[in-house]
Amino acid sequence: MNMLKLSRSVIRYNFCLLALCLVLFAPVTPGQKRGGKRKAPARTQAATAPVPVPTPQIEKMDRNEQARGGPVIFTGVNFPVDPKDINVFLNGAAAGTASLVNPEKTSFLFVIPSDVSLGTYNVMVKFTLNKVQLPFPPPALPEPKLTVYSESGKVDPKITAVSPLLTYPEKEVYGFDIIGEGFSKKGADNGLVIQNRGEIQGICWADDQKCDHKDLNLVQAKAVSPQQLTFSGIPQKHRGVNDLQVRVGDQYSNVFQITLARVNSKLPIQASLVVFVLLFGLVLFLTSRGLRTSPIAGKRFGLITALFLDKETDTYSLSRFQFFVWTAVAIFSYVYLVLSRSLIQWKLEFVDVPSGLPGIILISAGTTVLAQGITNSKGTKGAGEIHPSMSDFISVGGVVVPERFQFFVWTLLGASVFVFLVLLNDPGTLKDLPQVPNGFLELMGVSSAGYLGGKLARKPGPIIDEILAKLGSLELTLKGRNLSKDASLIIDGDEVSSDNIDGPPVMIPDEELPSTTMGKELRFKIKDPKPEWLTDGRKLTLINPDGQKAVWAYQVGPNVTLLTDSSGMVSETHFMLRLKGANIDALTEVNLETPEKTAWPTEVTVNFETPDLLTVESDIPVIDGETTLRRGTAVVRNPTGPAVRIDFVV
């Protein structure tokens, strides 16, 4: 054991000695003293050069499409540790720096900025090493393109509706809403494209703070949601039928057709009324001479009234009414349809008339012709009141008859419904006029047949053209047609009893319509007339046995007599006549005539002493120096009615 320990100590000793020798006997370099501190050798140029840093390389992007605000991961090698040393460019414009680099420096994350416009971009990355930017090396992918889509998701833009589909100008601009999907909530991402005209430029979006939203010359728009875009202020240069598209980024929607009307929605109906009135006025002007009517009982009616007037009875004709009504409805509706199709819908075409409407016109025209033929063969209806009134359409001689009532009602109802259906349609969607149902045509045919059948079955009614009244009690001579000798009389609402009529009336037959009970002239003599019956303007109503009536006003003229005891010479050359009676007033005129029925040569003065007494004064004419003209005739007349002639001698 002791020998082993000794051997180990010897070995250690020898090793230390060998080491000391190596130090002591090592060669000394020039300038170095033995046993002193050795000077460190100088460094060579190769030893001081920096070690090269590996160049960053991009191998791929994890995706080529991403939503705005979403991440894109780039993979490769040798990326800088600091994310700020990695700059991403989109189409050459700086888009931001990386957000994160992994520890291995083999990938980094880039978040697409939220303000980047939608579209497809060329991607370039620049790295900064030792504060020096390195150019973007060739990527592993052949096309480093990145498509940015909306935050709402990758949905192709699509138009499903436009409201309104037909847009009318308002203050010379248009506005509408586009409904669909895939639109961007950021206004500038969207664009409105009109095919063959290009995209509308300079749209002022509601979320653009730099835009002047009060500028009426700009197209204003708002991205309401990814499903709705609103546009207003579209200029009139885009009016017409347009194919629209919505651009979202570099994606385009389907084509959707809308119409921007030339004029507002009220113009077609206004223009139709103007055209109708002009056409109607032209017809009236060309036929005005033939339509002018004589006054009826002193009252003159206009040209429009003359269109519906039956000149034989001085009443409104129902057959004329329904013919003109349906003609007017057809003309107005057709003009409205043509103007709507051309001015609003941009359809320049010769529009066809609907089936059924010609049938209505045919029924109306046929009814008018047949009604006139029946009147010529059987006689006219009763005249009724003195002046024509609306009641003439449903009555005959003042008697309401069912067939006329239903014909009148169905005419009004059918025409009103037709016009209502025409105007109820928007002029932008009106394609044609309403179809007249076969059932309604059959109904109108039955209604017309009932109307004509009633005319055939009914007796002709009385018509009074003139009444001649003569005092001496009261003698009335009625002239007209279809005057029944069995008729009853009413004067101003008071019935004239048969006992008050002196004998049976005298009837003069009508050669054109032979009848034993009706003629063209009747003569009555009323034995005891009421005092008011002896004045002008009294209304006489003649009622035939079937209830049809005719009303006319008669004039009896002044009822005066000469007071001979108080009339005569006032002086040698001046005379006075005193006339007393009834039915005279301040409007009563008195003229003197010579026996030869010429005007009295000297001035005549008329004065009323009392309401029923007047005086007439004049000078006796002097002829050849002698006052020989002492007789003549006083002619007394009211503004209407017959004159009274009274002979006098002074």
pLDDT tens-digit map of 259-269: 888 888 888 88
The mean per-residue pLDDT over the stretch 113-130 comes to: 87
Name the strands in the sheet holding 71-77, side by side, starting at the edge strand that comes first in the sequence: 57-61, 71-77, 107-111, 100-101
For the chain, count helices (H), then strands (E). 8, 41
- Say yes or no: 437 and 487 in one domain: no
Domain co-membership, 563 together with 541: no
The mean pLDDT value of the chain amounts to 81
What letter represents residue 228's amino acid?
Answer: Q
Secondary element (H or E) of residue 378: helix 357-378
DSSP structural state of residue 391:
G
Distance, CA of 505 to chain centre: 62
Residue 83 within a domain: yes
Per the domain annotation, does 34 fall within a domain?
A: no
| CA dist., res. 443 & res. 417, Å (int) | 15
Dist. CA 364–CA 324, nearest whole Å: 8
Q: Residue 503 — pLDDT band, cuts 50, 70, 90? A: confident
Q: How far apart are CA 557 and CA 590, in angstroms?
A: 12
Which tokens belong to 303? 């040209």
Q: Are 534 and 568 within one domain? A: no
pLDDT of residue 271: 87
> Quick one: tokens of 613?
């007494």
Q: Domain tally for the chain?
A: 5
pLDDT, position 160: 95
> Which residue, of 439, 457, 475, is where some domain finishes?
457
Whether the predicted pLDDT of 230 surpasses 90? yes
pLDDT attached to residue 298: 58
Domain CATH number, residue 167: 2.60.40.10
| Contact assessment for residue 229 and residue 223, using Cβ atoms and an 8 Å cutoff | yes
Domain containing residue 567: CATH number: 2.60.40.350
SS3 assignment, position 207:
coil
229 and 145 housed in the same domain:
no
The reply to whether 88 and 185 lie within a common domain is no
Rounded mean pLDDT, 533-541: 85
Give the domain range for residue 579.
Answer: 559-649
Lowest-confidence range among 370-379, 492-501, 620-629?
620-629
Domain annotation covers residue 291: yes
For residue 246, pLDDT beyond 90:
yes
Among the candidates 394, 423, 457, a domain finishes at: 457
φ and ψ at residue 287, rounded to 5 degrees: -115, 10
Q: What is the DSSP letter of 582?
A: E
The mean-pLDDT minimum among 292-296, 310-314, 618-622 falls in 292-296
Which amino acid would we find at residue 119? G
Per-residue pLDDT band for 456 (boundaries 50, 70, 90) equals confident
Same domain for 206 and 242:
yes
Q: How far apart are CA 519 and CA 464, in angstroms?
A: 11
pLDDT band at 255 (very low <50, low <70, confident <90, very high): very high
Given a cut of 70, is residue 558 above it in pLDDT?
yes
pLDDT at 17 over 60: no
Question: Do the Cβ atoms of 237 and 342 come closer than 8 Å?
Answer: no
Could you tell me if residue 644 is inside a domain? yes
Shared domain check, 550 and 536: yes
Q: Which segment of 330-334, 392-396, 511-515 scores lowest on mean pLDDT?
A: 511-515
Question: Given 491, 521, 554, which residue is the final one in a domain?
Answer: 554
Is pLDDT at 16 greater than 70 in this prediction? no
pLDDT in tens, 131-147: 777 765 555 556 688 99
Q: By three-state DSSP, how is residue 61 classified?
A: strand
Which residue, 288, 294, 363, 286, is CA-closest to 330? 363
Which amino acid does the sequence have at 631?
Answer: R
- Is residue 39 included in any domain, yes or no? no
Question: Is 43 within a domain?
Answer: no
Helix, strand or coil, per DSSP, at residue 69:
coil
Token pair of 124 as six digits? 């370039």
Report, in angstroms and rounded to the nearest whole number, the Rg of the chain calculated over CA atoms: 57
**Residues 462, 421: Cα–Cα separation, whole Å:** 42
Closest to 522 (Cα-Cα) out of 490, 478, 460? 478
Residues paired with 270 in a beta bridge: none
Mean pLDDT of 572-593: 86
- Report the distance separating Cα 325 and Cα 418, nearest Å: 12
CA quadruple 393, 396, 398, 401: dihedral, nearest 10 = -80
The predicted model gives 108-126 an average pLDDT of 90
560 within 8 A of 636, measured Cβ to Cβ: yes
Q: How confident is the model at residue 50 (pLDDT cuts 50, 70, 90)?
A: low
How many C-beta atoms lie closer than 10 Å to residue 159's C-beta? 20
- Tell whether 37 is covered by a domain: no
- If 0-12 CB within 10 Å is exposed, 13-18 middle and 19+ buried, where does residue 138 land? exposed
Backbone angles phi, psi at 366, to 5 degrees: -65, -40
pLDDT(460) > 90:
no
Whole-number Å distance between alpha carbons of 117 and 147: 10
List pLDDT tens digits, range 414-439.
Answer: 999 999 988 888 888 888 888 888 88
Percent helix, percent strand, percent coil in the chain, to nearest 5: 25, 35, 40
What is the per-residue pLDDT for 41? 46
- Residue-wise pLDDT for 271-308, tens only, equals 888 988 888 888 777 766 655 555 665 566 666 777 77
Residue with the larger pLDDT of the pair 559 and 450: 450
- Under DSSP, the state recorded for 138 is P
The answer as to whether 218 is a domain residue is yes
- Whether residue 470 sits in one domain with residue 449: no
Instruction: Note whether 328 and 425 are same-domain residues.
Output: yes
Helix 318-339 to helix 267-291 angle, to the nearest 10 degrees?
140
Span 1-30, average pLDDT: 37
CA atoms within 13 A on the CB side of 1: 0
Of 188-197, 343-352, 402-411, minimum mean pLDDT range: 343-352
Residues 596 and 549 in one domain: no
Residues 342 and 440 reside in one and the same domain: yes
Both 293 and 425 in a single domain?
yes
